[in-house]
Structure 1
Amino acid sequence: MDLINFRVGQKTISLKILDILLTERFENNLTSLPNDNKSFIGVKDYMDTPTPIFDLGIILNNQSTDSINQSLITLLSSWESKAKQWFKALEKSIYDNTSFTMNTDIEQCDFAKWCEQFKTDNDDLNAILKRFNTPQTRIYEQAKHIISLQKKGMQSQAINEINSERNTHFMQLIRLFESAREQIILDYKPIIIFTTKDGSSPHIGLLVDKVEDNISYKKEDIKPLTKITETGFDIDPQTKSMMRGLIKLADKHSLLIDPSAIFRPAHLQHQKEEETEAYGLF
Structure 2
Amino acid sequence: MEKEIKYPYILFKIAGSLYCINSKYISTIVQLPNYSTIPAAPANVTGMFKYRNEVIQMLDLRVTFGLKSISEEYRAFEEMIDARKQDHINWVKELERFIDEGGTFRLAKDPHQCALGRWYDNFKTDNLTIANHLSKIEEPHARLHLAADEADNCKKDCENCQQEEC
Alignment of structure 1 residues 109-258 onto 2, 5 Å:
109-123=114-128, 125-126=130-131, 129=134, 132-150=137-155, 152-153=157-158, 157-161=162-166
In structure 1, distance between residues paired with 2:108 and 2:37: 53
Does structure 1 residue 105 correspond to structure 2 residue 109? yes
- The one of 49, 54, 59 equivalent to 1:49 is 54
In structure 2, distance between residues paired with 1:43 and 1:135: 44
> CA, structure 1 residues 89+104, in 2 after alignment: closer, same or farther (shift >3 Å)?
same
Does structure 1 residue 21 correspond to structure 2 residue 27? yes
Identity of aligned residues (%): 19
- The one of 63, 80, 84 equivalent to 1:58 is 63
TM-superposition CA deviations, 1:172-206 (whole Å, max 9, x none): xxxxxxxxxxxxxxxxxxxxxxxxxxxxxxxxxxx
1:71 deviates by: 1.2
> CA, structure 1 residues 145+136, in 2 after alignment: closer, same or farther (shift >3 Å)?
same
Aligned twin of 1:9? 15
Name the SS of the counterpart of 1:91 in structure 2: helix
1:132 deviates by: 4.6
In structure 1, distance between residues paired with 2:48 and 2:141: 47
> CA, structure 1 residues 14+159, in 2 after alignment: closer, same or farther (shift >3 Å)?
farther
> How many equivalent pairs are there?
158
Aligned twin of 1:186? none
Aligned twin of 2:74? 69
In structure 1, distance between residues paired with 2:90 and 2:122: 23
Amino acid at match of 1:16: N
Aligned twin of 1:39? 44
> CA, structure 1 residues 114+80, in 2 after alignment: closer, same or farther (shift >3 Å)?
same
Aligned twin of 2:4? none
Amino acid at match of 1:69: Y
Name the SS of the counterpart of 1:105 in structure 2: coil
> CA, structure 1 residues 129+146, in 2 after alignment: closer, same or farther (shift >3 Å)?
same
In structure 2, distance between residues paired with 1:27 and 1:157: 62
In structure 2, distance between residues paired with 1:85 and 1:159: 23
Amino acid at match of 1:2: P
> CA, structure 1 residues 28+7, in 2 after alignment: closer, same or farther (shift >3 Å)?
farther
TM-superposition CA deviations, 1:74-118 (whole Å, max 9, x none): 212221221122113313442x34435431431532222222222
Taking structure 1 as the reference length, the TM-score comes to 0.47
Structure 2, unaligned stretches of length 5 or more? 1-6
Structure 1, unaligned stretches of length 5 or more? 162-282
1:38 deviates by: 1.9
In structure 2, distance between residues paired with 1:120 and 1:89: 32
Name the SS of the counterpart of 1:108 in structure 2: coil
> CA, structure 1 residues 23+143, in 2 after alignment: closer, same or farther (shift >3 Å)?
same
In structure 1, distance between residues paired with 2:163 and 2:104: 13
Q: 8 Å contact 1:30–1:43 — kept in the other structure? A: yes
Higher relative contact order (CA 8 A, sep 6+): 1
Tell me which protein shows more strand as a share of its residues. 1
Q: Superposition RMSD on alpha carbons, in Å? A: 3.0
Name the SS of the counterpart of 1:114 in structure 2: helix
